[in-house]
Amino acid sequence: MISVAQARGRILAGLKTVSREVVPLTEGLGRVLAVSVSARLAHPPADVSAMDGYAVRAADAVAGAKLKVVGEAPAGHPFAGMVGQGETLRLFTGSHVPGGADTVLIQENAQAMPGAIIVNEAPVIGRHIRRQGQDFALGDLLIAAPKRLTARDIGLAAAANYPWLQVFRRPRVAILATGDELSLPGEPVGEGGIVNSNCAMLAAFVAACGGEAVMLPAVGDDVAAIAAAAEAARGADFLVTTGGASVGKHDLVQAGLAQHGFNLDFWKIAMRPGKPLIFGHAGEMPVLGLPGNPVSGYVCAVLFLAPALAAMAGLGEVPPVFEAARLRGSLPANDAREDYLRASLSWQEGGWAVAPFGRQDSAMLRPLAQADALLRRPPFQEALAEGAVVEVLRLVS
């Protein structure tokens, strides 16, 4: 058995980045930028006013001075002329500061009269002007690829004048559930059957990770059917199977994939839940064989599939991020397997408190859905008392 970290390393090692595509700017949210965004213009494009007020020459704008208003320049309507001695120009937030002026007098400090203003309070030279390129200059690197794009990145790319973005396409993940006992949700459940919950859960998980899921029709416990389904998955970037990964004689996934020259990389990981994980390649296609129990499958998806999707989408190695929390209750010493306990989190006295659930059965979906986090226990960790600091992985999807 290999460790969780070794398994993740081996899965990520051979993954290829998917190809690029062009998307409209407004479709860029959550996508991974493939080509960096550099500024196509300066922002602001010129020296602009940060306030509503008057463009003045600081030397003229002493308290009590009367300045002649030579015009007004709303944002988007720059003044063509110059502000001369004893003159001023009416400005608004975003207006270009005209030639000749060096300062903005805010309107609260001016008294308006027909064709002129009186300066009530002398401004500091250079005040209330946003300088050309203060946010960014033409050519500045604004968003370095690869990066998963936020709404703010979309705004920044818009400001830089990009109507399109080059992103990595969504990795396509084919999902194949195996087992004679499976039916689709809402369809008749056979005698001894159960509803296939893994496919829909994993498809949603793939979508939450920015991938595109293809749900293959489930196949029974039959080597030829599994082989045919693996063939149907060609064209996907990654194949995930569920079930049939343990030691029973009805565990036929490896046998089915073998028809495609399946190359096993590893089988079995020192973790709980999720021990009977399979990873290998069917031809070029990476194949992750998840255990059939939904909790095992989900935990393996968090630890292995999510990083695989990030890597294929161009983000490189993005391991799960653990945070610290204080244990509520106590835990016995751990054995040789890295343990991931389903748990609830609460914010107490300025930090997270984590309470592992009493039942940790890997077939129980309900507590999984109710969990806020996974509590990680390294192999052979000693017994833990109330208040011990532990590592938690917050579950967001």
Residues 36-95 that bind a copy of itself (CB under 8 A): 41, 43-46, 50, 52, 73-78, 92-94
Question: Contact between 25 and a copy of itself (CB under 8 A)?
Answer: yes
Choose which of 83, 202, 270, 282 interacts with a copy of itself (CB under 8 A): 202
Of 347 and 358, which has the nearer Cβ to a copy of itself?
A: 347
Q: Residue 197, interface with a copy of itself (CB under 8 A)?
A: yes
Stretch of residues binding a copy of itself (CB under 8 A), selected from 8-16, 143-151, 233-241, 282-290: 143-151
Q: Using the rule CB under 8 A, is 156 a contact of a copy of itself?
A: yes
Residue closest to 54 by CA, chosen among 41, 40, 71, 78: 71
Task: Give the number of C-alpha atoms closer than 13 A to the C-alpha of residue 175, restricted to the C-beta side.
Answer: 25
Window contacting a copy of itself (CB under 8 A); options: 224-232, 277-285, 332-340, 344-352: 344-352
Report d(CA 277, CA 45) in Å as an integer.
Answer: 56
CB atoms within 10 A of CB 330: 12
Q: Which of 135, 212, 222, 265 binds a copy of itself (CB under 8 A)?
A: 135
Considering only 152, 235, 261, 358, the residue that binds a copy of itself (CB under 8 A) is 152
Using rule CB under 8 A, residue 215 touches a copy of itself: yes
Please tell me whether residue 143 binds a copy of itself under the rule CB under 8 A: yes
Of 249, 261, 332, 336, which one interacts with a copy of itself (CB under 8 A)? 249
CA 233-30-158 angle, to 5 degrees, is 135
Q: If DSSP codes are grouped into helix, strand and coil, which group holds residue 277?
A: coil
Q: What's the CA gap between 107 and 133, in Å, rounded?
A: 25
Residue 350 binds a copy of itself (CB under 8 A): yes
Q: Exactly one of 101, 142, 233, 313 binds a copy of itself (CB under 8 A); which one?
A: 142
Burial of 257 (0-12, 13-18, 19+ CB in 10 A): buried
Q: Which two tokens stand for residue 194?
A: 């159960």
Q: How far is the CB of 40 from a copy of itself (least distance, A)?
A: 9
Task: Determine if 247 is a binding residue for a copy of itself (CB under 8 A).
Answer: yes
Kindly compute the dihedral angle of the four CA atoms of residues 239, 242, 243, 249, in this order, to the nearest 10 degrees. 0
Spell out the alpha helix ranges (H) of 175-261. Answer: 198-208, 223-232, 253-258
Which residue of 5, 6, 16, 26 would you call a contact of a copy of itself, by CB under 8 A?
26
**348 belongs to the binding site for a copy of itself (CB under 8 A):** no
342 with 374: CB under 8 angstroms?
yes
